[in-house]
Structure 1
Amino acid sequence: MKKFFLSLFFLFSLVPAHAADAGMSPDALVRGVSDDVLSIVRHDKAIQAGDTRRVVDLVEEKVLPHFNFRRMTMLAVGKDWRQASPEQQNKLVDAFRTLLVRTYSNALTQYRDQTIGYKPLKVGEADTSVRVQTEVRQAGAQPINIDYSLEKTSEGWKVFDVVVAGVSLVTNYRGTFAQEIRVGGVDGLIRSLEQKNRNLAATPAHS
């Protein structure tokens, strides 16, 4: 599971905001901008030293506009999403978004010399949902498959799930969320997520 979390930093490193061209294919989007962002990670001394705040800023600036956090949250919550009020749904989205950013920003500081391979993708004009398949290669270890599920929207392609070594991000959370809701209802899940975020925020960043 640790490998799952550490590998997910690529979900934040491949899609900077300025490349959100509605006419760009999803694989071209991922492939075309990865070198730029990974170059920042390689050469930014603060990030290499483990400065989580610097990484959070990078994620906020270059990644978040390309993720559909509402759909991600809805998929992670599953059937219980329908019982949540609009206000509760908004709180769930905000809390889950914050949790993902704070959790995986730490993983981005673990980047060293990994490289990325891309598998061919055919996208038809009528396709509105695709999976971009990539492979993270690192010396002395087996490659890690990371697939990005994207949907086509009026604002361009948006990521709504990431599958690392066969494990779906949203599915990985679904069981935990369902248990939290069984115990404390939707408000209980919101409180749990907010508490986790407070704990992560209280953890000092490395400098």
Structure 2
Amino acid sequence: MKKWITAALAVVSMMISSAVIAQTIDATNPYILIDGVADNAFSRLKDDKEAYQANPELLRDVVKEELMPYINVRYAALNVLGSQAKKATKEERDLFTEAFYDYLVMSYAQILTQYTDQEVTVEAPKTIAKNRSVVSVRVDIVDKSRPPIRLDFKLRKNRKTQEWQGFDVQVEGVSMLSTKASEWSGQLRKNGVEAVAQELIERSKAPIAKEESES
């Protein structure tokens, strides 16, 4: 069950952060963004399934090309740093953001090896107040062999471009950013931002390989 929830997290994280170049997705509406990206992103995975199964390392390219351009990595990284962000130098914050980017690429690529054509349902668009800068969009993942999984995507509006970007996702109420912040807080306080960034860089080099799913 744990691997299934983790797989769901990564697969739908791709939905809020990817776009197929051949089609333009309206990023000025978070609901339309997620729904459009879901259709496009899953089509790519399905069309090239055999290639990704034969060489999972190719999933890194999928993540870099289709996911990362639509994730506000710096905003997410600073949230993970928490109070340490103010104590760190600009160079340390930049290094951690770059390391966090690489970590996300590796993590999403690894988790996407668990994708097996799950059905995805995105909630219908709602009216968004003009003064709102953060919204949550619900997505349900349905797999015939497992209970449905609810995810709530957090998206933040860029005031300059008026476009939305994903920065966090809650799986059954558990925040990805909060989890990582809690996991790394002790190391950040003890070893510093640079040391943790270097550790993330090394962890990001781990090979991508499909793991056996738990029943």
Task: Count the aligned residue pairs.
Answer: 201
Question: Equivalents in 2 of 1:67, 1:108: separation in Å?
Answer: 17
**For 1:67-116, what per-residue CA distance to the aligned partner results, in whole angstroms no more than 9, with x for missing partners?**
11011011111111111100000000010111111111122122113111
Q: Could you tell me whether the CA contact under 8 Å between 2:96 and 2:194 is conserved in 1?
A: no
Residue 86 of structure 1 is matched in structure 2 by: 90
Larger CA deviation: 96-105 vs 176-185: 176-185
**Cα contact 1:131–1:147 (8 A) shared by 2:** yes
171-180 vs 183-192, which moves further: 183-192
Aligned to 1:27: 31
Secondary structure of the corresponding residue to residue 146 of structure 2: coil
- Give the equivalent residue in structure 2 for 1:127: 132
Matched with 1:189 is 196
Task: Render the CA deviation track for 1:30-79: whole Å, top value 9, x for unaligned.
Answer: 112312221111121212x1533321111111221111101101111111
Match of 1:11 in 2: 13
2:122 paired residue number? 118
Return the alpha-carbon distance in structure 1 between the equivalents of residues 130 and 193 of structure 2: 39
Check whether the contact 1:71–1:160 (CA below 8 A) recurs between aligned residues.
yes
Structure 1 11/50 Cα, relative in aligned 2: closer, same or farther at 3 Å? farther
Q: Which runs of 5+ in 1 are unaligned?
A: none
Question: The residue matched to 2:114 in structure 1 has which SS?
Answer: coil
The answer as to 2:162 corresponding to 1:159 is no
3-state SS of 2:152 partner: strand
Q: CA RMSD, aligned part only? A: 1.9
Q: Which residue of 2 aligns with 1:138?
A: 143
**Aligned amino acid, residue 97 of structure 1:** Y
What amino acid does structure 2 have at the position aligned with 1:145?
R
Tell which deviates more after alignment, 143-152 or 116-125. 116-125
TM-score w.r.t. structure 2 length? 0.85
Identity %: 25
Whether the 8 Å CA contact 2:34–2:122 is kept in 1: the answer is no
Distance 1:17 1:107 in 2: 20
Structure 1 residue aligned with 2:213: none
**In the alignment, does 2:75 pair up with 1:62?**
no
Unaligned runs of 5+ in 2: 211-215
